[in-house]
Amino acid sequence: MPVVDTKNFGRVEYEEEAALEFPRGLPGFEERRGFLPLHQPENDPLIFLQSLEDPGLCFVTIPVQVVDPGYRLEAEAEDLAAIGLPASPRIGTEAFCFAVLSIQEEGPTANLLAPVVLNPATRKCVQAVAVSSGYSHRHPLCVEEAAAC
């Protein structure tokens, strides 16, 4: 069973099929392509995307539906095709979408403009930037509401 050393979680043993692949990496981290989603019940609904190549690289994400229950995925067809998804996948069945969180002085924000899109059938992901979607990369996140979900 593979093991990954992490800065925040120590040594983590995982099933190979649990790993996620970003065929093109993430914007700004193109060379980092393997990630492990880590879920801790005490931090629900957060999902930590831990790099398999860099022990210090971990993104904190949250399902987009927690932030915006009516979220509509608007992604470029080529981004979705890169991970084997149709042009308009159904969130929650054909695709899962996660917003990357940032901690700002004014409070936490969620990036709804460029969600991480996962094809659960292939375990491949892409961060899909949809410039014309109307969503923000700094959507204010109400911590109390997120904890109640």
* Residue range 33-77, pLDDT digits in tens: 999 999 999 999 999 999 999 999 999 999 999 999 999 999 999
Domain positions in the chain: 3-148
Is 84 or 88 the better-scoring residue by pLDDT? 84
21 CB contacts (<8 Å, ≥6 apart)? 33, 34, 123, 124, 125
pLDDT value at position 146?
Answer: 46
CATH level 3 topology of 3-148: BH3618-like (2.30.290)
Cα–Cα dist 85/7, whole Å = 33
pLDDT value at position 132?
Answer: 79
pLDDT value at position 143?
Answer: 55
Cα–Cα dist 129/1, whole Å = 34
Q: Which of 65-69, 90-94, 98-102, 144-148 has the least mean pLDDT? A: 144-148
Question: What mean pLDDT is predicted for residues 133-144?
Answer: 82
